[in-house]
Structure 1
Amino acid sequence: MTPDTTWIEPEIASAEDLRKLIAPVRYVLWDLDGPMCRLFAGHPAPKVAHGLVTTVERAGQPELLTMKERLLKDPHAMLTGINRRHPNSDLLTELEEWLTRQELVAVPGAFPTPHADPLIRKWSALGVQFAVTTNNSARAAAAYVDTRRLADCFPYIIGRTRDLHLMKPHPHSLLQALDVMDANPSEALMVGDAPTDYAAARAADVRFLGYAGNRPKVVALRKAGAEPSCIVRSLKDVWDALTS
């Protein structure tokens, strides 16, 4: 970028956009890692990914991981990749349980997303029902909401199952949450931060609110098809829209 280059920030939702988006909402499906917290803030995901690679290699099956997956250092991408190539294997079951333990280790060091806790409490107090719909372990999600004293706000927690093909972008967790809440999809909203969240919300026919804490996140959601009118850089914008 030269000194004369103008950096154009991608468009995001206005206050009016957000008011229109949340006005009919009676049910909110929250992704965990991103909108609610940085789960691996104190136990970095690249470190976890390295441990997963080591576990695979010690099992004598290094070919289970592609070079791209190794370079991405994304534990979920690694699991889903192995699942595509070797579904229902005993090693895959062991790796999923290993990742669950890592997520539980990460919970005490997780960093709450700015404004998430007060927004959750305020929205819940207004009578809106919540569920967690996450690709992380339900055990880790339950442990996190308990540490933040938010358990009363989240009676429903839908996490990763052993059927890894049902992870988002598959809408399984969202559809399951809608079912247990007896929710009409037209009155539901998913809060997520990734293209996979957006794809799952579309497949479940629910509204989507994209939390994009930085410019690359905004760009990624826009490339996935999310409209600017449903993307925020800060949850304070949602708080302001809710309280106005």
Structure 2
Amino acid sequence: MAAETENLRELITRARFVLFDFDGPICRLFAGHKAEVIAEGQVRWLEERGLHGLLTEGEREHPDPHEVLRAVDRRHTGSDLVAELEERLTQQELRAVDSAWPTAYADPLIRTWLAVGSRLAITTNNSPRAVRSYLATRGLEACFTPHIYGRTQDLHLLKPHPHCLNRALSAMGAEAEASLMIGDTPSDFQAAEQAGVPFLGYARNARKEKLLRASGAEHVVNSLELILNLLRAHA
């Protein structure tokens, strides 16, 4: 336990650039506006347009609206259909901001990391419009602006592709080894690995931790409080 804490301390204190995933480490975006309900709405919207056969049965039942969007994009890359479906998802994410739950200790962690001189960015598969809207409700937008890198209509560049991480590193003039990504999914870990960025997993429950560990993530915490305490002790 002591060795793991020391490893975490080194990982955290050497990070001059910190890349946060959004939904998970910063908030639970869909806490009050469920992602599976949004996914069901996407499927209905496609069916109403006579596109029932566009998705497989597994894709129609998938609880993640991002996966439904990806499935349509694989078959109609760059089409007006994909653009409209992406905008509908963005509108649902903006609606979800009103009922999002802040992740415990996220706000003070962000402010503390900024106060000790690190530069911060958000690298997410969510819409950057939804990210900015949420950050504004918490008074945190200035902590990240202009370094918010989210979903574009080039859906093949969503994580696990490292595109948004590479954009952040390039814009901040950051070296990958002097950076740290905090994420809560295997795709976050895979994107960080491809970008050469050290990774710290955040798992709010045992299922999330199991998935992260299985993907290869070595460092995983169940609360951001530990990170905050280590950072404050070093300040």
Q: Which TM-score band (shorter chain)?
A: over 0.9
Residue of structure 2 equivalent to 1:6:
none
Superposition deviation, residue 147 in structure 1:
0.7
- AA partner of residue 177 (structure 1): A
| Distance in 2, Cα, partners of 1:126 & 1:59 | 53
> When the two structures are superposed, what TM-score results if normalisation uses the length of structure 1?
0.92
Partner of 2:159: 168
Find out whether 1:237 has 2:214 as its counterpart. Answer: no
1:89 positional shift: 2.1
Tell me how far 1:70 sits from its aligned partner. Answer: 2.3
1:27-52 CA-partner distances (Å, limit 9, x unpaired): 01111100000001111111111111
What amino acid sits opposite 1:184 in the alignment?
E
Aligned mates of 1:124, 1:69 — CA distance in 2 = 40
State the alpha-carbon separation in 1 of the partners of residues 28 and 49 from structure 2. 30
Distance in 1 of aligned mates of 2:121 and 2:228: 18
Aligned to 2:123: 133
Gaps of at least 5 residues in structure 1 are 1-10
Provide the C-alpha distance between the structure 1 equivalents of 2:227 and 2:197, rounded to a whole number of angstroms. Answer: 18
Matched residue SS, 1:72: coil
2: CA distance between counterparts of 1:31 and 1:241? 20
Identity among equivalent pairs (%) = 53
Determine the structure 2 residue equivalent to 1:8: none
Amino acid of the residue matched to residue 172 of structure 2? M
The Cα of 1:87 is off from its aligned counterpart by: 1.3
Q: What is aligned with 1:7?
A: none
Q: Distance in 2 between matches of 1:221 and 1:25?
A: 21
Aligned counterpart for 2:134 among listed residues 141, 144, 152: 144
Matched residue, 2:182? 191
1:72 is aligned to 62
Matched, 1:45 2:30: no
Number of the residue aligned with 2:143: 153
- The equivalent residue for 1:124 is 114
1:219 aligns with: 210
What is the letter of the counterpart of residue 159 of structure 1? G
Report which stretch shifted further, 160-169 or 150-159: 150-159
Runs of 4+ in 1 over 6 A off after TM superposition: none
User: Match of 1:14?
Assistant: 4
Deviation at residue 23 of structure 1 after TM alignment? 2.1
**Corresponding residue of 2:173:** 182
Per-residue CA distance 1:192-217 (angstroms, 9 max, x = gap): 00000000000110010100111111
User: Contact 2:40–2:61 at 8 Å: present in 1 too?
Assistant: no
Q: Is 1:105 matched up with 2:65? A: no
Could you tell me which residue of structure 2 aligns to residue 3 of structure 1? none
Distance in 1 of aligned mates of 2:63 and 2:172: 35
